Structure 1
């Protein structure tokens, strides 16, 4: 990484995880997370001081999701039909390449950078956001932030929020022959799942009035991701555990959505279930946010996008959350989301990026960075 960035005159520095990271309200523990004083982000800074009015911080995460056995060539990339395949090709090593090569393009054509550029190349975006949070704790100096994600070269000015909820339901285990005297924890969970899907419909109905997310048929989701329950097929199950993610828009704060989820989980079924349920919020807690549509950085980026054949009249909120909300919430900076790649290819067994789109993205960024 250091050698690659040195090729465009940028100095790569290790920025070790901040010692106060675990104490921050936004810190998210995760079983795949590894927080220690030996782990670091990479901070990239131009060795040559640019006389520019604005400084733009680009955030690109370096981690990728695990690759299953079905993705045989995950870490042996190959090109086929103008697509590059491999883990991270779409999410989101492609966007680091796009940014670096845009700067190299300008240098090779003797076109001056008109914006000071700094890069946050972070870890753990896929599981916690700890890398970006650590960078913020070290201190951020910028006029705007662009978080690079696969958006098909469209600029988004915010994203929906998401929160992870774990629900533990305790039933009453008896022999299946005496089922009338027991309480089936899995069946209780079934009633809760039904109510959560109604909750999703309620959130979607509320979302109809939010114009910033109006381009999406389904701008948010309630996704039941894990169900674990039961002890023996001949016994009424004593326990059931649900883990689900809830998407929400800017009409809810983290506190608001926690309260509403808790109320739903504790008032869904019979009195037994309501009194024998535990609700915990251990996982993602990303706020929904929006940057002003008239922000100068957004308008400039969209002008560059439209100049190179990607038609975008308005910027909306993204229906996925990422680290962008951290810069908006804790640095009070206009924060955009932009990059090449199609979200449907991210995290998949066929992860890929279109090389023509990658090239177009380089031209868009070159145009943006060479505009005062």
Structure 2
């Protein structure tokens, strides 16, 4: 299938097209559980590079598997890239991206509001053990990124929007700065998915995803992905994935991811429609001090969001006007929203970053970037929005009730 087709079409069938030479083929890619594949004959001149999955040739499932190959083709097509790699988790994907681009003594510039797991990986593994220096900067201002770049900077690593403060960075501008100084730009596109943002088209060299989130979309598979247009970088990524680390996505999870991407376009439209309604509701609520959603005109980077995104996604954060006891009461009385980490599934999830996803970050560091005890992150699902709004009313009513209760 051509990359010229619309992304909605590629999401449904790219990588699973019936083979025209045989006149038959699987409409849905089967789960190939085989760990190894039979060779037609002994070939003493055969090397790993001679085995081409694109021609239906497979040797060993760690190196390549038919089900994983199909989903890697689709992931690349969705992001408009040439090379796709599916990993056992989003963390495994990002770790591989870093290992492929930096060496001991190199320098990385990263957003200061990265996902806590990514930041912890950089600080605990790359800085402390692998002797890679990392500068964390407020990348909402491209000038801060440029000021932090040094002669030994090899990689700029961004998320946009960030987790959980929904900060944006200008991908195109940062790509220009990075390339001018001989560095690569990697972008974690998990929050937007390829339906709402295409970093490669904006100048990024590498795109990462936790496929656990929107790409799979059903909270039943953990995985990660990398997509690039750079042949040299792809060669390094492939070596690390298949040979050095062996952190590839398993066949069953590859099948689930293939299945999930088929409904990605329609899911993202509903996620966004619901998130917009909820963001507007929260913005007008007297018990909310601020709402962070790129689709609101009040978002400080609303214009940038409209410029580089084709949608605003289904994640938002808001700050309860109260204290941690109010957060406990609010979250404890919800029925439709599930208190859980992660995001991007069809069901609505809600969490308190300071006590959950970002708890490993020291309080002073959390508060310095704006993650307070009363900040709440919401992954808006595809349920009927009126039911979600009624549930939020229930949570706010519980907070009111605690304030009105007489002191003992």
TM-score by length of 2: 0.23
Structure number with higher helix proportion: 2
Structure number with higher strand proportion: 1
By relative contact order (CA 8 Å, sep 6+), the higher-ranking structure is: 1
